[in-house]
Structure 1
Amino acid sequence: MDEKDNPRNLREEEEETKDLISSLSWEIDYIGNKLFKYEGHWYYEDILQSIPNLNTGFKPQETDVIVASFPKCGTTWLKALTFALVQRSKHPLGDHHHHPLLSHNPHEVMPYLELDLYLKTSKPDLTKFLSSSSSPRLFSTHMPLHVLQVPLKESPCKIVYVCRNLKDVLVSLWHFLNANKGVEWNDFSQKEKIVRVEDYSFEAMFESVCNGVTLYGPFWDHALSYWRGSLEDPKHVLFLMYEDLKAEPRTQLKRLADFLDCPFTKEEEDSGSVDKILELCSLSNLSSLEINKTGASGGVDYKTYFRKGEVGSWKSYVTPEMENKIDMITEEKLKGSGLNF
């Protein structure tokens, strides 16, 4: 019997994880859940338990692609773009009736490593995920880069990170949580509906985010982990800005294709393949699909993943005092890094 399959060793690992969690500092976040601080970042208990599962169980392949992000930075859109781009030979863009993105939410076709796969086990069944049982396998994560460095240390797979202006992230997160305020967020293994009438406080969320005490936060450290990774290893880590994707979608999509070693041919460009992907994956198109209007998973309605997706919508919610505070913190946190919002 393999040592990793030995029940005694598994129990020992579980006990070690529990002992570790009990030793960590913790805070209550803006939705009333306990966050634990581990290696500089904040996690719910069940997500923390996925880290040893990832370290021992995830065996990356050379052709794997991982889409990474801080929550509400454009993850759903980038997942759709990456899937359509990488899978375009298997799923022709002209096949408007059978393309997987027409019948599956982007989060279905690109599972989260720590939430969908390794949350409770080190040996998940990948065959139930559309794109994760064949090559190239497509995964996603909200984990900071240093968490992935143990399982990825021997792998040259590709990581694509999308970042966004924190003020827009804050507004998008607030809307998303309030749209799902009947979901118990501190248990990702089985999200349950709860009774909650009042909205979460925008002001409380703002203060927590500024203090860095938010799931996967602090935001700036999260972004910097991938920014520095992209500078140190540009062949394997690509850093994208959401605002650039919105302003220059064709340029950024072609940049993504080059990075993933699947560049558009001249014939593809002449036939409009770039624009077909952008049209298929546009937020207006995705949000109009039946699967995304009526579907749900884990207690979360797919329609809540789609809002306006605009740049600068924070101006309707963030006061001048809030804007000044968050800008000062951002300037200080990113000082000297070369990363600017």
Structure 2
Amino acid sequence: MALNKMKDLKIDEMERLTMDYVEGILQPTPTCDIWDQIWNFQAKPDDLLISTYPKAGTTWTQEIVDLIQNEGDVEKSKRAPTHVRIPFIEWIIPSIGSGLEQANAMPSPRTLKTHLPIHLLPPSFLEKNCKIIYIARNPKDNMVSYYHFQRMNKALPAPGIWEEYFESFLSGKVCWGLWHDHVKGWWEAKVYHRILYLFYEDMKKNPKHEIQKIAEFIGKNLDDEVLDKIAHHTSFDVMKCNPMANYTSIPPEVMDHSISPFMRKGSVGDWKNYFTVAQNERFDEDYKKKMADTSLTFRFQF
């Protein structure tokens, strides 16, 4: 049995995309190969960009934004899977396609997605003064969610066991880099650019209020009934069963939902089920040092 497990592990690792660095930030090799094209991407003034560190509520926000733009018309938001409706600009999977090509072929106004830290964002987004929505999630829950995502997503490196992943995340040796730098970089940028900075925990606590905020930022005036409808259709339980939002349309060779569903828990405080006392103490000490130079604060539980 042990030999079979070893064999399976090796096969699993061989199937995964290789990784490389872009200016010190780990990225899948296909992304690195077309980096010049990504960097030179031409944003348009009416583009709307959704930006997050991975597993911080990206798909949730994409669905909210799409429903706001369609004024709560659920059927319109079922026209295609999330990754087709809202291209992921730096993402390229040979068997699925290129987010950059999708974005370039899309008519305006476009809604786009990125996980890039602010210093790697194609400059045209800021030069054209595009509206950007950024969502940040507390790092402990973010780490746990990212760990499970890497387990099921063969387009990312195998995470190893939890203890190994804990170290990788703390040192920023994960795709899209160090969480601390990511959230701080975008937090500082919001002073100078049209960035709506939201928190995952606020969205969980009072979704209708945050949806209203997003709608106002986008320029949509929606009544209470539509806001309630959007809150319902973007609740975790509803989205988990929505094949246009739960990533079950992606081939299992890329995302294996039998290992861990793409939409796993969507909760606040799940980190307590994973962090040992020693890990929590170490994390807190590290967090204090890395976040000493920012006014940004997070809630780790309700």
TM-score above 0.5:
yes
Calculate the TM-score normalised by the size of structure 1: 0.73
| 1-structure distance, mates of 2:290, 2:54 | 19
Equivalent of residue 138 in structure 1, options 98, 111, 115: 111
Say which one has the larger Rg.
1
Q: Does 1:106 align with 2:106?
A: no
Indicate how the Cα distance of structure 1 residues 301 and 289 shifts in structure 2: closer, same or farther if over 3 A, else same.
Answer: farther
Equivalent of residue 334 in structure 1, options 271, 282, 291: 291
| 2-structure distance, mates of 1:36, 1:123 | 19
Instruction: Measure how far apart 1:289 and its partner are.
Output: 2.7
Contact 1:65 1:157 survives alignment (8 Å):
yes
Indicate how the Cα distance of structure 1 residues 166 and 204 shifts in structure 2: closer, same or farther if over 3 A, else same.
Answer: same
Contact 1:73 1:164 survives alignment (8 Å):
yes
- Residue 200 of structure 1 aligns with which residue? 160
Q: Give SS of 1:300's match.
A: coil
- Residue 261 of structure 1 aligns with which residue? 219
Instruction: Measure how far apart 1:136 and its partner are.
Output: 2.2
Letter aligned with residue 283 of structure 1: F
Letter aligned with residue 52 of structure 1: D
Instruction: Measure how far apart 1:123 and its partner are.
Output: 7.2
Q: Give SS of 1:114's match.
A: coil
Q: Does 1:147 align with 2:120?
A: yes
Of 66-75 and 326-335, deviating more is 326-335
- Residue 186 of structure 2 aligns with which residue? 226
Contact 1:54 1:122 survives alignment (8 Å):
no
Equivalent of residue 32 in structure 2, options 30, 48, 55: 48
Instruction: Measure how far apart 1:62 and its partner are.
Output: 1.2
Unaligned runs of 5+ in 1: 1-28, 187-195
Q: Give SS of 1:63's match.
A: coil
Cα RMSD, aligned residues only: 3.1
Calculate the TM-score normalised by the size of structure 2: 0.82
- Residue 5 of structure 2 aligns with which residue? none
| 2-structure distance, mates of 1:277, 1:125 | 26
Alignment of 1:162-173 (within 5 A): 162-173=135-146
Indicate how the Cα distance of structure 1 residues 330 and 126 shifts in structure 2: closer, same or farther if over 3 A, else same.
Answer: same
- Residue 124 of structure 1 aligns with which residue? 101
Q: How many pairs align?
A: 280
Instruction: Measure how far apart 1:120 and its partner are.
Output: 8.9
Unaligned runs of 5+ in 2: 1-12
Contact 1:51 1:147 survives alignment (8 Å):
no
Percent identity (aligned): 27
| 2-structure distance, mates of 1:77, 1:153 | 24
Of 107-116 and 288-297, deviating more is 288-297
Equivalent of residue 320 in structure 1, options 262, 277, 296: 277
Indicate how the Cα distance of structure 1 residues 38 and 288 shifts in structure 2: closer, same or farther if over 3 A, else same.
Answer: closer
| 1-structure distance, mates of 2:279, 2:156 | 26
Letter aligned with residue 296 of structure 1: I
| 1-structure distance, mates of 2:89, 2:247 | 25
- Residue 171 of structure 2 aligns with which residue? 211
